[in-house]
Amino acid sequence: MRAKRQTTIATTPKDVERQWWVVDARGKTLGRLASQIAPLLKGKNKPYYAPYIDTGDFVIVVNCEKIHTTGNRMDQKRYYRHSGYPGGLRSLTLREMLNRHPDRVVKMAVRGMLPKGPLGRDMLRKLRVYSGEEHPHEAQKPEVLEV
């Protein structure tokens, strides 16, 4: 009598079934919100998660201008960018960044929690961030995610 062989099932890109989620950022803490969005983009909520394949879902974040932070982070946290020219370093506080580009604040927080390299960039492309209540993705029938 022969024993049955056990086989390992490897996840392939064709096995991935993507879902759409909507997250309302109103009143949520920035870092805690980002730490709950990042696993969805990675696909860690799926039973067939593999770290070497993008198995994640699409995430839509609305009301990102109404996020909340703790402590004095609004005035102490700074975002830096450089033009590439001498003396071209520019910085904005979190408060200024929320006034000018509230979508970038959430996107940058989530980006820091994703893998670096091509796989992380693919995961970040599935994140859609909007400052208002409306978004153009109603046709995908996104489910509301309570964070």
Residue 6: the pLDDT is: 84
| Least trusted range by pLDDT, from 18-22, 104-108, 143-147 | 143-147
- Amino acid letter, residue 44: K
Question: What does DSSP say about strands 127-129 and 58-62: parallel, antiparallel, or unpaired?
Answer: parallel
pLDDT of residue 113: 97
In a domain, 83, yes or no: no
Residue 3 lies in a domain: no
Residue 4 maps to a domain:
no
Mean pLDDT on 73-80: 96
Residue 31 pLDDT: 96
What is the average per-residue pLDDT within 4-31? 91
* 28 within some domain: yes
Domains: count for the chain = 1
> Tell me, what CATH number does 60's domain have?
3.90.1180.10
Band of residue 1 on the pLDDT scale cut at 50, 70, 90: low
Residue 29 lies in a domain: yes
* Tens digits of residue pLDDT in 25-52: 999 999 999 999 999 999 999 998 999 9
DSSP string, 29-78: BHHHHHHHHHHHHHTTTSTT--TTS--PPEEEEE-GGG-B--TTHHHH-E
pLDDT in tens, 91-144: 999 999 999 999 999 999 999 999 999 999 999 999 999 999 999 999 999 999
Give the CB-side neighbour count of residue 30, counting CA atoms within 13 A. Answer: 25
Domain that holds residue 109: 18-69+101-144
Q: Give kind and range of the element (H or E) at residue 123.
A: helix 118-124
User: Does some domain include residue 60?
Assistant: yes
Residue 110 lies in a domain: yes
pLDDT at position 7: 85
Whether residue 90 is contained in a domain is answered as no
